[in-house]
Amino acid sequence: MDLEKLWQSVLAQIQLDISPANFATWFANTKILSFENDVISVSTPNSFSKEWLEQKYGKDILKILQSLDENIKNVSFVVDPKKTKSPLGKKGFKNSKEETSTEQLGFKELEINKETNLNPRYIFDNFIVGPFNELAFAAAMAVVEEPGKNYNPLFVYGGVGLGKTHLVQAIGNKIKEDSPEKKVKYLPAEKLISIIVNSIKKNSVEELKKTLRELDVLIVDDIQFIAGKDKTQEEFFHTFNSLYQKNKQIILSSDRHPNAIPAITERLKSRFKGGMIADISSPDFETRVAILKQKGEEKGVDLPKEIIEFIANNIQRNIRELESALNRLIIFKKANNKNPTLEDTKKLLKTIIVSPSKITNPKKIIQAVTEFYDIPNGTMFFTSRKKEFSKPRQVAMFLLKKELKLSYSEIGRKFGGKDHTTVIHACQLIEKTAEEDEKIHQEIELILQRVYSS
Ligand code: ADP
Ligand code: MG
């Protein structure tokens, strides 16, 4: 049997039943690898399309295959990036190794260390230094050299997405690497607040005090959140003093200068200001280019100069946005198996660059979600609890909120007068799952690509 012809016939039939966009997304670069023991094995370019083919189209594919050859009993899908050809040919992609590393996408978070609570991803090796963060970096280095001696506390502040968390965790990771015996603990302020509150409830404050005071390095991220939390401030003040007196290193980050944090006690404020205060500002153009190049390399994409410069010119605010721009391009490359052109890039990044509400509307969003999940028009509005409809509905609600900033009640009205609490619940649910589940995250990105490219 000619496997290639067989697959062509399957594709020809599938194509009749699904939208061109879905066809291109899920069936590009698939082929039959083998037919052994009554099983057809289909290769897919990445795990993402593998899962979709299995779950969404598996049954239909098998049916079509069986109608073409009754000896076929089953179909299986395998990820085989090497077997799929790149439309750019050899020039565009260096080799299959590159494909594999794109496959990994850098999405897999490394595991957080249970003892220190540090994320091993945040290290100095991948921290880029430029005029915008030089001072904070130099201070960090001084702390690493002699923890507890040079700057205590080190207080790093700056706007969102500028690298505070990365920097303070890199300090922790480096100290731990240099001196594994040292006790290092990283705590986001919310976590600090909750462990203090819980220990008060459980009458275990003394125990907590003891653990915190035995540390060599205590890192508290986003300390501004303790504003107005009196109990936490009280406990933290004593812990701070105790560590400080023993020359143990304290590292704090905040989105603003200590003077600008409201509702913290004067005595804490003056402790915060007693060491080194270093700010991080926005990265300049050269640094933005350097960051994009490095992150691209890390994730196995080699973007041409014009694309890098386009992004660096248009996304200036922070590093997190640069990263999300890059991720969009990577997801595009994964789904389409080709590098985006400058035109593609412009479309893909439209939402980050200009206000989304100017270029899309509720109809487009609902259309894109309907098509993506391949459900009949209008079914999203059924008050059905079936997951098949409820998930697209929740995703659509989430996107209407996120992209168009519609009010919850407005969204509720669009969905047949649903209560605004239902909408809030849907939005929160999707937001949370998208954070935790890479698959949902990618689905949402792919839907957005459709919304903004139509
Ligand atoms: P913040 O805590 O200030 O909001 P993060 O530390 O979370 O910012 O940084 C946002 C993203 O940008 C992270 O993925 C981080 O790894 C990356 N990043 C920040 N600063 C740098 C830098 N100087 N070099 C490389 N990546 C950076
Ligand atoms: Mg942070």
Ligand 1 atom at minimal distance to the Cα of residue 280: 3
Q: Report the alpha-carbon distance of residue 242 to residue 152 in Å, rounded.
A: 13
Ligand 1 atom at minimal distance to the Cα of residue 253: 2
| 412-424 average pLDDT score | 90
Q: What is the pLDDT of residues 201-211, one digit of tens each?
A: 999 999 999 99
Round the average pLDDT of the chain to a whole number and report it: 87
Distance 353 CA to ligand 1 centre (A): 19
Q: What is the pLDDT of residues 325-338, one digit of tens each?
A: 998 898 888 888 88
How large is the angle between the packed helices 387-404 and 420-436, nearest 10 degrees?
90
Distance 388 CA to ligand 1 centre (A): 37
Q: What is the pLDDT of residues 68-94, one digit of tens each?
A: 899 999 999 998 866 544 333 333 333
Closest to 167 (Cα-Cα) out of 197, 194, 137: 137
In this predicted structure, the answer to whether residue 427 has a pLDDT above a threshold of 60 is yes
Ligand 1 atom at minimal distance to the Cα of residue 121: 16
Lowest mean pLDDT among 99-108, 130-139, 170-179: 99-108
Nearest CA to ligand 1 atom 5: 163
Which ligand is located closest to the Cα atom of residue 160? 1
Nearest CA to ligand 1 atom 26: 127
Asked if residue 93 lies in contact with residue 81, where contact means CB atoms within 8 angstroms, the answer is no
Distance 221 CA to ligand 2 centre (A): 7
Give residue 175's Cα distance to chain centre.
Answer: 27
Which ligand is located closest to the Cα atom of residue 280? 1
Ligand 1 atom at minimal distance to the Cα of residue 294: 25
Q: Report the alpha-carbon distance of residue 341 to residue 116 in Å, rounded.
A: 43
Q: Report the alpha-carbon distance of residue 84 to residue 103 in Å, rounded.
A: 13
Q: What is the pLDDT of residues 33-44, one digit of tens each?
A: 999 999 999 998
Element containing residue 278 per DSSP (H, E) = strand 276-280
Task: Give the strand pairing for 31-36 and 39-44.
Answer: antiparallel
Q: What is the CA radius of gyration of the chain?
A: 26
Q: Report the alpha-carbon distance of residue 324 to residue 311 in Å, rounded.
A: 11
Q: State pTM to two decimals.
A: 0.64
Distance 188 CA to ligand 1 centre (A): 15
Distance 243 CA to ligand 2 centre (A): 23
Ligand 1 atom at minimal distance to the Cα of residue 283: 23
Helices (H), 75-152: 89-92, 96-104, 134-145
Which ligand is located closest to the Cα atom of residue 132? 1
Tell me what pLDDT residue 81 has: 66
Which ligand is located closest to the Cα atom of residue 136? 1
Q: Report the alpha-carbon distance of residue 23 to residue 107 in Å, rounded.
A: 25
Distance 213 CA to ligand 2 centre (A): 24
Q: Report the alpha-carbon distance of residue 253 to residue 221 in Å, rounded.
A: 5
Asked if residue 88 lies in contact with residue 29, where contact means CB atoms within 8 angstroms, the answer is no
* Pocket residues: Cβ below 6 A from ligand 1: 126-128, 133, 158, 160-166, 291, 319-320, 323
Closest to 18 (Cα-Cα) out of 435, 340, 370: 370
Element containing residue 214 per DSSP (H, E) = none
More confident site: 95 or 200: 200
Q: What is the pLDDT of residues 259-300, one digit of tens each?
A: 888 889 999 999 999 999 999 988 988 899 999 998 988 888
Nearest CA to ligand 1 atom 1: 161
Tell me what pLDDT residue 36 has: 93
- Given phi > 0 = left and psi -120 to 50 = alpha, else beta, which region is 369? alpha
